Amino acid sequence: MEIKHEEDAIMELYNASMSGCTTTLYRLIHKEPNILNKISLTSMSETPLHISTLAGHLDFSRALLLLKPQLAVELDSHKRCPLHMASAEGHIEIVQLLLRANNNACLIRNQDERIPLHYAVMRGRIDVVRELITAQPDSSQIVLDGGETVLHVCVKYNQIEALKLLVESLSDEGDFLNSKDHDGGNTILHLAVMLKLTEIAKYLLSVSKVKDGAYSLNQMGFTALEVLDHYPEDLKNVTIRNIFLDAGIERARNQTNLQLPPLAVVVGHHEPTNLVQPSKNIWLRWLKYLSYQGDWLGEMRGSLMVVATVITTITFQPILNPPGGVWQTNEPLRIGNEYNITCPVGTAVFACNADQYWTYWYSAFLTSNTISFTASLCVTFLLISGFPRNKLCMGLLTFSMWITLTFLALAYVCAFNLLIPYQLYFYDYNASDPKFILPSYVLLSLIAVLGIVLLIHTVPLLIWIVLKIRKFTLYMRRR
């Protein structure tokens, strides 16, 4: 009977904590002075103070702390103290009350290693954040097991006001401001760029110590700016690039390529220069010229867009205005001794012609022009849709541009054959005037250039394919 009475009293106490009824609390204390001490003997996962602080009942929470101050550091089943609850909900007066009772509660970690400051930051409770770092300044420098700081939490949850407050309080801690997490070795600037938080990125670059660490590399070997190269291009990417540009931040390789000393100098070991074989040196130089330039797409994207658009326009025009013009009247076409078909008004002259020579070259012209038009249109689509920046995609884009220019050149050759009589550009050994052999030289030069371009694009591709196949073969053997 007595046990039943105690259980009823404790349930009434918990109900009072949810409603915030201090009258019920004092009545229960008057009847059972030790009722607060018996809470730990129950199966409840939370104390009445957890519930009242979460609900925001200031008077009830104050009464509980006056009766039993130790409740301020009691933990629930998730290892959360009442300060976790009040901080998450933003009950500033209750937070102040709990801090006066025991400010060490600021440093209590729950089962996820988070302290009350993390909860306040996640929910953007600026006044609570200010109270917590004032009561325990060291709480802002607590690092979680994954290397994550409270600054990382600010960026992850896009809480710029909380971030500004914490950065101002840590303005002298340059190393901490540029600390990296263990997940990917990312600083808060890396994280802001990956999440495409333009406002936070702009603010961080306005902080001198964060700006000084803008060239820090993550575990993938990328600076914060280089991280953008591995995301689809969109408006936010362009905005963030402009923010870095305004801050005077460039790519790390542009800053360090000419400044890094040789590896032998760094480790204090010097190899004699005469040991490098000339043939090997020439091969290394050749590979250097053929090596992939990672900044090409980023720096030439605008130029590529213009070139692709111009080529699309150029190759579209011959469809409306074909070389040789169009028939102005319904022209009967004689094949043999009879009129077999009639060429309607507006039909291309070379397309509707009895001479197979003109028909052949016009068909070749249309084919080359269409391929060039399609390829340039594909390049435009890829550029405006956010093409990822990696070696494979770079190769596809380069190959598409090569196809575009090649077939544009072939379309020129076909149009040349259509519009200029072949007697003028084929060399006649019996001719006394050699001025008409120039066009043939131009065509031969064009073919040579196309061959060189094909070689330049094919050799690195073949090298890349061989290396990938070799790497895959070694991987399969190890398995």
| Cα 419 from Cα 361, distance rounded (Å) | 10
- Tens of pLDDT, residue by residue over 137-146, are 999 999 988 8
Task: Give the distance from CA 76 to its chain's centroid.
Answer: 40
Report the alpha-carbon distance of residue 424 to residue 431 in Å, rounded: 11
Report domain extents, the chain.
1-103, 143-260, 296-419
One fold for both 1-103 and 143-260? yes
List, for residues 307-348, the tens digit of each pLDDT value.
888 888 888 888 888 887 777 766 665 554 555 566 677 677
What residue ranges in 336-448 does DSSP mark as E strands?
338-343
Q: What is the pTM assigned to this prediction?
A: 0.54
Measure the CA–CA gap between 429 and 256, rounded to whole angstroms: 60
pLDDT (0 to 100) of residue 11: 92
Query: In this structure, which topology does domain 1-103 adopt according to CATH?
Result: 1.25.40
Which residues 6+ apart lie within 8 Å of 49 measured at CB?
17, 61, 64, 65, 71, 72, 74, 82
- pLDDT band (50, 70, 90) for residue 132: very high
Reply yes or no on whether the pLDDT at 158 is more than 50: yes
User: What pLDDT shows up at residue 434?
Assistant: 46
- At the second CATH level, the architecture of 143-260 is Alpha Horseshoe (1.25)
